[in-house]
Structure 1
Amino acid sequence: MSVRQLLYLAPIAAVLLASSSVVNGQDGVAEELVVLTDLAGLGRDENSVTYFKASNAGAYERFGESIALSADGTTLAVGAIFEDSSATGVGGDQADFSAPNAGAVYIFTRTGSNWSQQAYIKASNTGASDRFGLSVALSHDGDTLAVGALGEDSAATGINGDQHDNSIDNAGAAYIFTRENRTWSQQAYIKASNTGRIEEGDQFGYDVVLNGNGDTLAVSAISEDSAATGVGGEQDDDSAAEIGAVYVYSRDGADWSQQAYLKPRSFSTEMLIGGILFGFAIGMDESGNTLAISGFNEETNRGSIYVFERAGSDWFEQARLVASNPEIGDGLGSAIAVSADGNTIAAGAFDEDSALVGIVPSDQGIDDQRTDDAIGAAYVFVRRGDTWSQQAFIKPTNTQVNQHFGWTLALSLDGDTLAVGAHFENGGSTGINGDQRDTSAQDAGAAYVYSRSGTTWTPRAYVKASNTFARAEFGSSLALNDDGTVLAVGAPREADGAAGINGNQAADSAAESGAVYIY
């Protein structure tokens, strides 16, 4: 699969938690996985998982392509990038199918143990193929929502420009919605300050992230073409195809403004020719002062992570992180998650090839690289003062070729609970800690949960859907609540035809309609 094909398979989510012990770093399948942790009173088996579908579920809408949770785990946002309604705003006509692949976002809330849908959200300028909902982010209180739509076509720039100019295909846009007294409304329509060329859009909105209070927003544009370097460079230089850029915005009251335009400090000739898709994934700490940005395609797709810091309103590049075992094609930065204090960064490398399992000493992976196995890995980096180091090299507890472990990630706020998605995993079991040797459901997908005590990481759970389907790609998106006791997992290619919450999970009647699971 080419990188260009990957651009529309952004992170996706579902919710859950558990724990266990594993024989670490041994070739093969882990022998021992025992559930130890109750899932915040929500249950811990497949019979008590909450199962979400779109209220207007339809085939090929890919509900669950993206997800986000509030810090307390009681507000869930779900993107469905190929939803077809031409409605605009909040609460429009869900049965209008006249705008193919426009996209939508659904908000669910929990009171006690009961979930209900609170809102159906569309862009204010809905257009076919906008893919609104490719990325979503929530503030910690769940009252501010950011949505990316990388296929939006307006040539507008800045904040609240002309939404109806459709002259640049795939220019991209981001939207801010706010909630007051359970009612949602759009607060801002955000475009890049250098929207792009007529012939090729920048895909602004590929990823979005908010800080804790929702007053700082970062938006990536992975196909942005400027050869500028550092912070605040020349935005109108289009000499470096698909280098990518990240834009930072701040909110004062209800007013948004652009604060920074970020690029790597320097580029090699190879990077300028091949593009690095800077911003393929982004992550931010609670304060909004630490921002981690993927250089996914850098160095022949070995990948890297750039760390930027903010002092006052000024941004600077603080560090560049690479894996302990970099290899061509590994794709470090396929996913990024950052702890609340900004001192722990987890990064996925979905195409890493070593066949080790569990928590592996960092030097062990170097001698176990296999060509194009695409098993995947996750790396944890920690900061002491201004110095970063790799703390852990993490593998699935049941390595399989092409499972894409590390395609998605989520961290608890303290950085001590990590969830990793493997959307092409082939396990046929259901629920938590099922039989990992069962490979009867191709590309069904899985999520894995790890925990940290001190500096030591331990595998805790192997998570599957409650209705495992082949090709459902469970684990395409992930979200954790603040303390890691609620996990949301998206399966955008799940095929059940139900609508709403906790419907019939056994009807294979709506291909790629998608689902989200909360454990």
Structure 2
Amino acid sequence: MNVLRSIIYLSLAGYMSAPFAAEASFAPIVVGAPYEDSLASQPGSDSAPNSGAVYLKWKTLQGQLGTALIKAPNAESSDKFGEAAILSGNNQVLVVGAPGESGCGANVGATEHANLIGTNSRVTCFSYGMESNADSGQPLDSVSIGAAYIFEGQGEFANNSQFETSAGHKLLDFTTYIKAPNPSLWDNFGGVVHISGDGNTIAIAATGEDNCGIGVGGTGDNPNQRLGGHSVCGQYVHPGMDDNSARDSGAVYIYKKSNNTWVLDAYLKAPNTDPGDMFGSALALDSDGDQLLVGTPGEDNCGTGVGGQGANANQRLGYGSVCGTNPNPSLWDNSARDSGAVYHYARENGQWVLKEYIKASNTDAGDLFGSALSFDHQDDKIVIGAPGESGCSAGIDGALQNPNKKINGESVCGNSPLNSNVKLDNRIGKSGAVYVFAYDDNNANLKEVAYIKAPNPDANDQFGANLFIDSVGGLMIGAPGEDNCGTHVDGTNNKAPCQNPGLTNNQALDSGAAYIYNDNNYANTKVAYSFFKYVKAPSVHGGDAFGTNLAAVTALDAQDPTIQMVFSAPGYDKPDMTDTGKVFVYTKESANKLRKSFGFNGKLPNVENSVSNFDYFGGSALGGSDTSVTSSVGNQCTIVTDYLEGSKISIKDFIDCIAGFGPGH
């Protein structure tokens, strides 16, 4: 077997550094490009469709810009390497997910596992390792088993603009390859990944995993019932990792570094496993890796609040309560399809335990609560996005009138005055919302403390599709379906044919926007978010989906408070090209100043044709090194395949798919 190496394309020292001379240094910006098409040995060749790649871009203390492209050491078509990617807070460990990877084997290093052999197998292995693929009787590009790749180094970006230094070593080099301990077809292992700030704990989701068991270890009995009263687990009394009765219920695997080796620390299933929940669609580890948030936007319980047993005041049109006739909803109530939930786990005395099961205060079907999530940097607040939420009120706690108008001039919220029931007014489908939870003064009880709506909610904006908290508590929220045709900070600059740009302009369908909030009480546990800036791309076009992913990276100089805020627009078109994608960077120099900095796409230095149609650059993973707060929303997006097969793709399909919050059942 040939020894495989990670192939990394490097920039020249100081490449493109001149336009950034006035900028501070910044830690690596990590951009996943799962639809990148080159073979590792042939950059720009487009000979391995959707094999995927990860881009790094950083700026040294000396003002030189570094850039690198990382390919998997065993890159093949449809692996989607880069669907998820994140760098540890110390810049020393990079984790990259490839949910389409079809390698045979299991565990760290891809060794043999019984689930792949025998009468109950879905795939057959004849050999193991990175060069061995599953024999499933299907084309390899349809076999999505999944893998994750670990790259490690010393974090020496501050003084090196070359990825491979003059001393002959890479700043990050490939060290190991991880498969699930229970791999199966279409599990999409690696579609979502996260890492602790210290780089010693990794969480990897497999949203398509099918085990019907519940709880830590996945062996708990499942009381969920299918229609007709039959158990979700069928005849299985004691399910295990290899049971596949609950399709796409999802699982999360936690790995911890021990004696310089990655070992499986826990296998997590929801306490109420159900088909189609896609447990693990978003992940967030805290800074030391001892707390984990798991988002499950496909979960269906109609209950409300922490614990999920609160009464639900939402009404369905003509049908009464969202919960039907059940006055006391529970984990097993499935009356609110795709309402979503978040699970908070903690490692206590070396064991992972479920701490809280979190629902919104206004649970409703289709809200997709848990599509994005984050701890703050002090690990005492939890922020959760629900891009499918339909409330029409605006502002913090819905305290503002919605400025958007219907064609006839009437408010999109109708003529009803603001009242205490703003969370229950569901007139604007998929406008989106973000929820903030915090512990009380005794650090004992978690409760919802803020409900955040955009200042300009409108149908299908999907506010909360992604979020990120920067190092000083600033909250970034993406709304990839927002429609204003204005450009830049505040969205008021216009270019023909845009007329009267601003918060209520809706002339550029699904152009996308981002919203930034400052936490005025960041030093305390109390939450006091205030709206700071509304951000559009420097160049705005319908379908760009600006704000699909976002992140923030700090200066490599520890004394420099400058923050680079990063926003992706995967639908951005280059001249004569379609959906190549682009990433835009804005500089936050203080609590009151934000300015456009620069933009970049997947073009490689000195390589022609390295950008191609449907690359969706930045569409699936965007993570810097502030990893204690990064959310990483995965998906099972097939939009490229659909397009190539002749299916009609709408802008709405694009937004829903590329943003990664359409769990589906």
TM-score category of the 2 structures, normalised to the smaller one: 0.7 to 0.9
2: CA distance between counterparts of 1:67 and 1:365? 34
Matched position secondary structure for 1:365: coil
1: CA distance between counterparts of 2:148 and 2:519? 35
Confirm or deny that 1:284 pairs with 2:359.
Answer: no
Alignment of 1:392-431 (within 5 A): 392-412=533-553, 416-427=563-574
User: Please, which of 480, 500, 507 is the counterpart of residue 624 of structure 2?
Assistant: 480
Shift of residue 258, structure 1, vs aligned partner: 0.3
* Structure 2 counterpart of 1:319: 450
TM-aligned CA distance change 1:415 to 1:129, over 3 Å: farther
Matched position secondary structure for 1:329: coil
User: Please, which of 462, 480, 487 is the counterpart of residue 599 of structure 2?
Assistant: 462
1: CA distance between counterparts of 2:261 and 2:597? 38
Confirm or deny that 1:36 pairs with 2:79.
Answer: no
Name the % identity: 30
Q: Deviations over 1:355-402 (max 9, x none)?
A: 11111169962232126x211111011222332221010111111221
Confirm or deny that 1:218 pairs with 2:293.
Answer: yes
Q: Deviations over 1:77-106 (max 9, x none)?
A: 111111112321111112232162011111
Q: Does the 8 Å CA contact 1:42/1:49 hold for their aligned counterparts? A: no
* Structure 2 counterpart of 1:132: 189
Shift of residue 411, structure 1, vs aligned partner: 2.0
* Structure 2 counterpart of 1:232: 307
1: CA distance between counterparts of 2:258 and 2:571? 39
* Structure 2 counterpart of 1:435: none
Matched position secondary structure for 1:78: strand
Q: Deviations over 1:397-444 (max 9, x none)?
A: 1112211111101123679321111111113xxxxxxxxxxx233111
Q: Deviations over 1:33-73 (max 9, x none)?
A: 75533534399889x52211111111011110011111122
* Structure 1 counterpart of 2:258: 180
Q: Does the 8 Å CA contact 2:580/2:611 hold for their aligned counterparts? A: yes
Shift of residue 313, structure 1, vs aligned partner: 4.6
* Structure 1 counterpart of 2:88: 70
2: CA distance between counterparts of 1:265 and 1:340? 28
* Structure 2 counterpart of 1:338: 469
* Structure 1 counterpart of 2:133: 97
2: CA distance between counterparts of 1:216 and 1:90? 23
Confirm or deny that 1:366 pairs with 2:510.
Answer: no
User: Please, which of 460, 470, 474 is the counterpart of residue 329 of structure 1?
Assistant: 460
- TM-score, length-normalised on structure 1? 0.79
Q: Does the 8 Å CA contact 1:148/1:205 hold for their aligned counterparts? A: yes
| Residue ranges of structure 1 left out of the alignment (5+ in a row) | 1-14, 21-31, 428-438, 496-519
TM-aligned CA distance change 1:417 to 1:45, over 3 Å: closer
1: CA distance between counterparts of 2:148 and 2:63? 27
Counterpart AA for 1:417: Q
* Structure 1 counterpart of 2:437: 308
Q: Does the 8 Å CA contact 1:68/1:138 hold for their aligned counterparts? A: yes
Q: Does the 8 Å CA contact 1:338/1:415 hold for their aligned counterparts? A: no
The structure richer in strand per residue is 1
1: CA distance between counterparts of 2:385 and 2:78? 29
Matched position secondary structure for 1:379: strand
Matched position secondary structure for 1:360: coil
TM-aligned CA distance change 1:253 to 1:340, over 3 Å: farther
280-289 vs 215-224, greater mean Cα deviation: 280-289
Confirm or deny that 1:242 pairs with 2:242.
Answer: no
Alignment of 1:81-230 (within 5 A): 81-92=99-110, 93-98=129-134, 100-111=143-154, 112=156, 113=163, 114=170, 115-161=172-218, 162-196=240-274, 200-230=275-305
TM-aligned CA distance change 1:171 to 1:338, over 3 Å: same
* Structure 1 counterpart of 2:580: 444
- TM-score, length-normalised on structure 2? 0.62
TM-aligned CA distance change 1:426 to 1:361, over 3 Å: closer
User: Please, which of 329, 338, 357 is the counterpart of residue 261 of structure 1?
Assistant: 357
Matched position secondary structure for 2:82: strand
Q: Does the 8 Å CA contact 1:325/1:365 hold for their aligned counterparts? A: no
Q: Does the 8 Å CA contact 2:86/2:625 hold for their aligned counterparts? A: no
Shift of residue 481, structure 1, vs aligned partner: 2.0
2: CA distance between counterparts of 1:166 and 1:356? 49
Shift of residue 139, structure 1, vs aligned partner: 0.4
* Structure 1 counterpart of 2:76: 58
Q: Does the 8 Å CA contact 1:33/1:460 hold for their aligned counterparts? A: no
2: CA distance between counterparts of 1:336 and 1:244? 16
Counterpart AA for 1:475: G
User: Please, which of 380, 385, 390 is the counterpart of residue 294 of structure 1?
Assistant: 385
TM-aligned CA distance change 1:415 to 1:305, over 3 Å: farther
Q: Does the 8 Å CA contact 1:259/1:313 hold for their aligned counterparts? A: no
2: CA distance between counterparts of 1:457 and 1:284? 23
Tell me which structure has the larger Cα radius of gyration: 2
1: CA distance between counterparts of 2:487 and 2:446? 38
2: CA distance between counterparts of 1:51 and 1:398? 25
2: CA distance between counterparts of 1:420 and 1:36? 20
TM-aligned CA distance change 1:149 to 1:403, over 3 Å: same
84-93 vs 358-367, greater mean Cα deviation: 358-367
Query: Number of paired residues?
Result: 440
TM-aligned CA distance change 1:469 to 1:283, over 3 Å: same
* Structure 1 counterpart of 2:416: none
279-288 vs 220-229, greater mean Cα deviation: 279-288
Higher RCO (CA 8 Å, separation ≥ 6 residues): 1
Matched position secondary structure for 1:412: strand
2: CA distance between counterparts of 1:35 and 1:136? 34
1: CA distance between counterparts of 2:370 and 2:271? 16
Q: Deviations over 1:142-176 (max 9, x none)?
A: 11001111100001111112211110000100110
2: CA distance between counterparts of 1:289 and 1:457? 27
Q: CA RMSD in A?
A: 2.9
TM-aligned CA distance change 1:367 to 1:40, over 3 Å: closer
Matched position secondary structure for 1:301: coil
2: CA distance between counterparts of 1:405 and 1:252? 40
2: CA distance between counterparts of 1:86 and 1:119? 15
Shift of residue 133, structure 1, vs aligned partner: 1.1
2: CA distance between counterparts of 1:82 and 1:33? 37
